[in-house]
Amino acid sequence: MNNGEMVHNLRESVRKLMRDFGVLERSEASCCGMSLGQCHAIVEIGRAGEISLNELAELLNLDNSTMSRAVNNLVDQGYALREADKTDRRYIKIMLTEQGTNTYMTIEKGMERYFEDVLGSIPREKHEQVLESLNLLETALRGKKCC
């Protein structure tokens, strides 16, 4: 296979993965009754335990104003708390409420079951190869802009 064919095959594989995950994420987010962005924010806040607005925006690759609106919606809906740091009032801490933590756990358990099923459909002797390849691809894609 020549380089042009390899590039085309890589592009098509990544495009299909992104499309498939987009469909999965939309269905998962709608089950939780929130936007996809809010769903991602809940997961990242839940994993961090406590995170600043700037850190969350950077993790999700969003600008601060977009992230601020998403967090405001999470606060209004009872999923998150937003509080100024006692020592530095400019630092805004975001953490999940009990409702937010329950939603986070539901999302995590559902995704764990989903990927357990995905991994189960791949031959066991290929598991490490698949994970290594995905890590290489993720690293290669990080920071690259398409258009």
CA atoms within 13 A on the CB side of 140: 9
Q: For 35-48, how does the pLDDT look when each residue is reduced to its tens digit (9 = 90+)?
A: 777 888 999 999 99
pLDDT of residue 26: 54
**Average pLDDT estimate for 114-142:** 89
**Average pLDDT estimate for 51-79:** 91
First-to-final CA distance of the chain: 26
φ/ψ of residue 94, rounded to 5: -120, 130
Helices (H), 33-145: 36-48, 53-59, 64-76, 98-120, 127-141
Q: For 16-36, how does the pLDDT look when each residue is reduced to its tens digit (9 = 90+)?
A: 777 776 655 555 555 567 777
- Residue ranges and CATH numbers for the domains of the chain are 35-141 (1.10.10.10)
pLDDT of residue 93: 92
